[in-house]
Structures are given as C-alpha cells and as structure tokens.
Amino acid sequence: MHRKQSYHTNFKIKYRLGLLPESEMNFVPPSTLRYWNGIDFSVMIGFDSNDPFMENLDFHKAFLAKTSLIKIAKCLWWLYITYSSTLEKLRGWKKKMREQKEMIMQCVQRIAPTLGYERACRMLKISYQQFFRWKQAIACNKSLFQLCKRITPQQLAMSEQETVEKYLSDNYSSLLHRYYKMMRDGAAYMGLQTFYRYARRLNVTRNLLKKKRARTGIRSSCPFELLHIDTTIYKLSNLTRVYIHFVTDNFSRAILSYSASLEWNSRHTVENLKTVCETHNLYYRPLLLMCDDGSENKGEVNTFLLQPNVQMKRLIAQIETSYSNSIAEAVNKKMKYDFLFTRSFDRYEELVKFIDVSVEEYNNRYHSALYGYTPSEVLNGAVPDKHKFSLMIAQARKERILKNKEQLCEQCAPKEENEKIQ
C-alpha cells in the first residue's frame, strides 16, 4: 500500500514564496503543488507578514538565486566557526574579551538592529546579561579597576589600595616578601592572589618559570633534625673561582654556617660542621646529614663523622636515598640570584664581606615555605602555620565591604542626592 507523503509547513511556504529549488519541486506531485497554491497562510497561527524575513523577501530571493553569494556566505560562516572555536581554546581568552569590551559593545550595537541583541551577543561569545552589565557599568576613577566601590564592595578599600601601592614601591625584594612584610607589619590583610592582582594592575610583575611539578622532597618535623651541606662556585671579575660552603637546616631553611675559600677540599666542610655543632650544641645529638657524592664531602668529613661525640648519620643524595639535595641547591640558587649575582667583585675579601651581610639578610627574609616567618624565627621556635592570617584576612574582607558600601564616588553621589530629594 502506497504511503501518503507529508510535507513540513516551511517546505510549503518556501514553494509559495518562490524559494524552493527546482530540484526539490520535482519530487512533489503537480496536484499537491496546485493545492498549496490555494492555501491561505496568513490565517495560520505564527505567520507574521511583518517578519523581517518577509519584509526583505525580494532580497532573499535575489540572494538565493546567486550561487556565488551562497558560497561566500558559507565561507564567512566557516570563518566565524573556526575563529570562535579557536578563541575558546586560547588561554585567558575571557580576560582578553574583557579588555576589549568597548570594541565588543560597539560591534553589538551596530549589528543588533539586524540580528537582535541576544543573537549578536551569542555570536561574539558573551551573554546578553554580560553586555548590559558592561553597558551600565559605572567607572570610578578612585579604583584601580575603574569599578564603583558601592556596586562591587569586595575590592580593596582606598586605604588598603594605598598600602599595597606603598609596599609595591620597594623594587628590591620579591613580591612574596613584600606581601608577607605588609601583613607582618599589620598594614593590611588580603589573600596572596589579590595582592598579585593589584601588582599586575600597577605593572609590577613577577617572573614565572613554568616547569613540571616535582614531588615533595625530604622534610623534617623540627629544627636540627636534618641538615644539608653543599658547595657552590662563584667567579670573581678576574675569573678566579671562589668555593662557598653552606650548612642549611631542613625545617627552618636557615643557613647555620658558611665559609668561602679559594681551594676545593673537605677541610672547609669540616670547619663548617664544627662551627654548627659548637654554636647550636649538636654534639652527642642524633641527626641526619644529607650531601652529594662530591669529594668535598669525603676525606676529612669521614674522619669527623667517626668521632665519638658526633652522632650524625650521612645520607648521600640519590645514592643512599631516592631524594635529592634540593634544599641545599635551593639555598645556593637563592643566594646567587638574590644577592651574589647582583654585584661584581674584584677581590676575594670584598666577596667574603658581602656574603656575611647576605646570609644575615637571607635568614631574616620572609620565606614562602614558612608562611610569613623568617628562617631565623623558625629556627628559634616559631611554628609555620599556613592559616596564620586566615582570620585577619576574613575580618578585613568584612570591614572593606562595609567601608566601600558607605563610600560615595563621583558617579554615585548625584544619584544619592536625588534619592534623598525624592
């Protein structure tokens, strides 16, 4: 039994409007086409003669009649799809869109009369609500981000913003040191990422090294439980090599002893270890000593470790244990790039004096692994606490919201006065 064909209403309308290709018309019986000619579509629900498509009917007919125009339209559509999908895969593309919001708003306003606001926003990868938030945003010159503090009270108060600018003016130390110094001084409290965000806004940037995250190295639970020894090389301006020896505490990251010499041997390592044992009363105290397999950690060091009053157990990194001597290497890097490489030395005596000052400053700088404490403080009994400033940051957040809501900027003041008059 032959099944009767059914046709979609849009298919019938395309035929009546002369937009149905001849290749498709050949599949429709002539009797059916004559029946469609007699249908009054104007009485059907949903048919609107004032629809933009109906108003530009002649244009659409002319457009569809030109195969070249259809090909160009398809090319433009594929270009749009390609660019939009590529844009979404770029890192930080939403931030880039926000930076170009003025241009995006102008584009939406130009094409909205043709496409409508919702479709125009959708094609530009923003929401309809986002467009009007941008359009109605009030610029406040007192805010670094040009945001009204009453509408967005979560941002820093003016006094906190000025404090951040003050601490960021110190270009010598790292951003992390300045952040913890600000909070240790009690000047202002905020999250680290907030501090970095304001630093970027003020064009104070930090160099980020992207590398694969390594596993956490060996860690002790208290000072003088695990010590690290290592030797690094520094060249004077006349290319003379100076060997700098450090003894570092694992838990506090403090440099316990240091020395510099013009020769490479184990005698200087032993002198450092003796100084540490005498200064911190470590004789007869069991502890671990981690070092690498270099010759400066053998010879006289072996003799020293065999003394009855020395109860240090040596661990050779990546040989007797799977861990590396990363704590000592990190201290070497910090001392070089933060201190030694910032100056040039002609004489050995000048370098030794500078090392004395640099080690003292290193031990009294705030350390990221110690959450706002210095190595000297932790060595003397302070306990690193990741949540040390959590309550103060939360309290500061509440206070700034209340303070910002009470503050009137130049844009809000006229509105406030009008509301009082009414």
Residue 103's domain comprises 68-136
Shared domain for 355 and 249, answered yes or no, is yes
Residue 262 maps to which CATH number?
Answer: 3.30.420.10
The count of structural domains within the chain is 4
Shared domain for 105 and 122, answered yes or no, is yes
Shared domain for 109 and 178, answered yes or no, is no
Shared domain for 176 and 277, answered yes or no, is no
pLDDT tens, N- to C-terminus, the chain (422 residues): 456 677 777 677 777 666 677 777 777 888 887 777 777 666 666 555 555 555 555 666 666 666 666 677 777 777 777 777 777 777 877 777 777 888 888 888 888 887 788 888 888 888 888 887 777 766 677 777 777 777 778 889 889 999 999 998 877 678 899 999 999 999 999 999 999 999 988 888 655 556 666 677 889 999 999 999 999 999 999 999 999 999 999 999 999 999 999 998 899 999 999 999 999 999 999 999 999 999 889 999 999 999 999 999 999 999 999 899 999 999 999 999 999 999 999 999 999 999 999 999 999 999 989 999 999 999 999 999 999 999 999 999 999 999 988 887 776 666 555 555 44
Contact 194, 214 (CB under 8 A): no
HSE at residue 22, side-chain half, CA atoms within 13 A, is 1
Shared domain for 84 and 27, answered yes or no, is no
Torsion over CA: 214, 178, 161, 392 (sign): positive
Shared domain for 242 and 332, answered yes or no, is yes
The strand order across the sheet containing 226-235 reads 255-261, 241-249, 226-235, 287-291, 312-316
- Residue 245 parent element (H or E): strand 241-249
Shared domain for 118 and 243, answered yes or no, is no
Shared domain for 239 and 353, answered yes or no, is yes
Q: How far apart are CA 162 and CA 90, in angstroms?
A: 34
Q: How far apart are CA 282 and CA 342, in angstroms?
A: 35
The encoded tokens of residue 131 equal 């467009």
Pair type for strands 241-249 and 312-316: unpaired
Whether 142 maps to a domain, the answer reads no
Shared domain for 296 and 251, answered yes or no, is yes
Q: How far apart are CA 346 and CA 235, in angstroms?
A: 10
